[in-house]
Structure 1
Amino acid sequence: MPNSQLILNQSIIDDEWTLVNLPSANEEVKKQAGKVVLFKLTGESLPTEHQINETIIPETGKIILPLSVYLKNHDALQRRVENKEIALWLATHETLDALIAQEKDINKFPLIAIFVERFQDGRIF
C-alpha cells in the first residue's frame, strides 16, 4: 500500500516510487565542512565504496536510486531502466558529469531528484 500521494497532470495519484537510501556510514567526523570542501581538501568522497556496495536494491517496483549506486550497477539495471522502473537521486554535492559520461540520453529516466540532506536557508534553490 502506498504511503504517499502526489499530483500528476492535475490529479492526485498514489506514489509508486520507493526511495532507496544508502546505508549509514560509520565514519568519524574530521571537519566541520561541507562534502564538496571535504573532497577538495582530502580527496575523500561520499558516499563511501562500502555504502555503495551494501545498498540493497529492490528486485521489483519503481525505485529511486542514489546516482553512485546506479553507476556501480549500470549493466545489471538496464532492463529496468528501459522499463522506466529506475529513477535517480543526486546529493547536492554531486554533478551530472558521471551520469552524462555513462548515458547518451538522461531523458530516459522518468525522474531525477535532488537529495537535500539539510534544508536550512534555501540557498540550494
Structure 2
Amino acid sequence: ENVENNLNDCCSGSWRVQECVWGSPGEATDWGDVTDMGQGWDFIVGSDLIYSDASTPHLLKTLQHSMDEKTSFLLSFELRREKDLDFLRNISKCGFAFQKIPENELHPVWQAEEI
C-alpha cells in the first residue's frame, strides 16, 4: 500500500516489496533462513537498515548477491553513531560506490525536525 501511495502516473513497470532476512542464500540465521531476493533488480530501496553492528555484514552479503552492474541501491538512514560509517567503508571495499545527497537537496516533506 505504501508503494502504491507513493507512485504516480509517471512511474510504470513492476515492483515488489518483501521482508528480507539478510545473508547469503542457503544460510540459516537466528532470524530464519536467508531470503534469496534473486538478481536483475534496477533498484533496491532500504530505509533505516543500519542499526546493529552484527547485522550489517549480512546486509552486505545480501547486496553482493542481489545486485549487478545495473542495480542502484538507495539507502536512507540517520547517522546516529560514528561506527555506522563502517558500513559505508565496507561497501566501498567491496567495490560499491556511494554518494551522500546534500541536505539542501532533500525534499522537506520527507525530513523530520526531531531527528
Q: TM-score range by the shorter chain?
A: 0.3 to 0.5
> Whose strand proportion is higher, 1 or 2?
1
For normalisation by structure 2, the TM-score amounts to 0.39
For normalisation by structure 1, the TM-score amounts to 0.37
